[in-house]
Structure 1
Amino acid sequence: MTTYTPEKRAARPRPPYLALLATWRGRIGLALVGLVAAAGLLAPLLTGHDPTAQSGQGLLGPGAPGHPLGTDELGRDLLSRLLYGIRTDLGLIGLAVPLGAVLGCLAALAAAAHPAADTVVQRVFDLVLAFPGLILALLVIAVAGPGWLPVVLVIALAEIPVFGRQLRAGILVQRGREYVTAARVGGTSRTRLLVRHILPNAAEPLIVQFAVSLTVAVFLEGAMSFLGVGVRPPEPTLGNVLAQAMPYLAQSPHVAAGPLVVITALVAGLSLLADALNREIRR
């Protein structure tokens, strides 16, 4: 049986994720995200300090012997806490965003299968979207308590309607295309038409949404940890390392500098990747 595809896909010679290397936005974004990710993954090799080990040398400045970035108020090595905080953050958002994406896409496919299911799914999405991210976080924390699992649940719940509505909109657009009509005339079943023809074309914008959602997840995890309702100390995250530095910002600003720089680099890199992907898809 002939596979029907829109003319737009036939005209594009390369996948958008490979085209990232051809743009300055993509190259800079990949470099920033790759650098932060590498620092987190190689944390055991880059520092020999336990990120939770305390000492009597609190608030040492950068360049102190054995502590390149200094220490926090409890004498814990800042470089170690920063690197392991990156690992924790990457693990959380790397689990939560794909989980939300998969559940959102499954909900969109269920909505596409029947009008009644579409109505139910859209009302559930409306209910979730009625709560801002931090309010949703407080509701989940009130039930489950603080920790890494509630953070994953909050981010995933926040992303389910985002991915679900994005895919649903793409499916509705593709259903009106000529290649779908031709496939129906050719006798293609409804399920095969959705899975083999409509879904690959409707799902392309989700690549951009994935990069955007990673950026949002960094902010949401940081905000939850900063407010004390996320991952609890002494386990480090970028958010709680920054929160613990705030009372000492005037006398020891270096304590907050590390997490601020890393969060900025990670968000900037992901934003540049999302922008580069969006420009390539719309090209």
Structure 2
Amino acid sequence: MTALTAPAPARSARAAVRNRHLAGLLTARGLTGLALVGTIALAGLLAPLLTGHDPDAQGPLALAGPSAEHPLGTDDLGRDLLSRVLHGITTDLALTFGAVPVGALTGCSLALLAATHRWADTAVQRAFDLVLAFPGLILALAVTAVLGPGRWPVFIVIALAEIPLFGRQLRSGILVQREREYALAARVGGASRARVLLRHVLPNAVDPLVVQTAVALSVGVFIEGAMSFLGLGVRPPEPTLGSILSQSVGYLATHPTFAAAPLAVTTALVLGFTLIAEALNRGIRR
């Protein structure tokens, strides 16, 4: 009976997958991604220490070039660009790291619901299809039309965009894992459907979600930047990377350095999360 109910091979396989996740992160690709994201996140957290300027304080030197007082120059209102970019990092990461887990948990909960009954699976899949039917921009416009621009619409759009991605990823994993020998053995041993799902199947189906999380974080940064760039995101004067880029568009020909810093930071963040996701994925395939 012990051989039927104790999924030792499944646990060994799960431990092997986690070891491969770690091995993937320790490759050059993974370490580069971690270094990029970690450096940028640390700079945002230390923003008050790294610059002595208030990000919202206007000054007399509008569109000034880099100098000792303003290492990245100033924007069109004379505000210190370094301070605004660093505080913008904090805003972007706070929204992304807050919204992605909410979307992930909601999507995973719906996937578990879908695994209980056929009618629930059909209803959940149609709900996922409904969300995926709206392109990100249309979804952002719809949410903003109801709530107006601000932090909450960005948070909601990021979370909504991630729900079907995590839900379908976990659903696929559950469908595969519940047909494995260890799950069949647990059912033969008298375990209930709920126990098999939660105790045996679910722990073995969540490993691919680690890769999905890294991808989702890069998508979250992109969504925030796009919404703020279009004026649908966080309201001025609170700085975000997307809003700074939006302000710089009118000065690209005369002051290209205005857009350089927020563009470089956004690119580095997305690249960092993408490298982490690729490293984790390559670790699984080994």
- Measured against the shorter chain, the TM-score band is over 0.9
1:154 and 1:173 map into 2 onto residues whose CA distance is: 30
* Residue of structure 2 in register with 1:181 after alignment: 184
Aligned pair partner of 2:248 in 239, 245, 248: 245
CA contact (8 A) 1:111 1:118 kept: yes
Task: State the shift of 1:264 in Å.
Answer: 1.1
Does residue 1:130 correspond to 2:129, yes or no?
no
CA contact (8 A) 2:25 2:279 kept: no
Does residue 1:33 correspond to 2:23, yes or no?
no
- Paired residue secondary structure (1:15): helix
* Residue of structure 2 in register with 1:203 after alignment: 206
2:245 is matched by which residue type in structure 1? Answer: L
Does residue 1:61 correspond to 2:99, yes or no?
no
Tell me the percent identity. Answer: 66
Aligned pair partner of 2:218 in 192, 203, 215: 215
Question: 1:168/1:236 Cα in 2 relative to 1: closer, same or farther (>3 Å)?
Answer: same
1:189-228 deviation line (CA, Å, top 9, x unaligned): 2111111110011111000001001111111111100000
Question: 1:238/1:119 Cα in 2 relative to 1: closer, same or farther (>3 Å)?
Answer: same
- Give the TM-score, by structure 2 length: 0.95
1:108 is matched by which residue type in structure 2? Answer: A
Question: 1:11/1:235 Cα in 2 relative to 1: closer, same or farther (>3 Å)?
Answer: closer
* Residue of structure 2 in register with 1:52 after alignment: 56
Task: State the shift of 1:162 in Å.
Answer: 0.7
For these two proteins, the number of residue pairs brought into alignment is 282
2:33 is matched by which residue type in structure 1? Answer: G
- Paired residue secondary structure (1:50): coil
CA contact (8 A) 2:140 2:157 kept: yes
2:14 and 2:80 map into 1 onto residues whose CA distance is: 54
- Paired residue secondary structure (2:115): helix
CA contact (8 A) 2:47 2:86 kept: yes
Question: 1:243/1:188 Cα in 2 relative to 1: closer, same or farther (>3 Å)?
Answer: same
CA contact (8 A) 1:3 1:197 kept: no
* Residue of structure 1 in register with 2:94 after alignment: 91
Q: CA RMSD in A?
A: 1.5
1:174 is matched by which residue type in structure 2? Answer: Q
- Paired residue secondary structure (2:164): helix
- Give the TM-score, by structure 1 length: 0.96
Alignment of 1:90-109 (within 5 A): 90-109=93-112
List gaps (5 residues or longer) in structure 2: none
1:168 and 1:53 map into 2 onto residues whose CA distance is: 49
Aligned pair partner of 1:152 in 145, 151, 155: 155
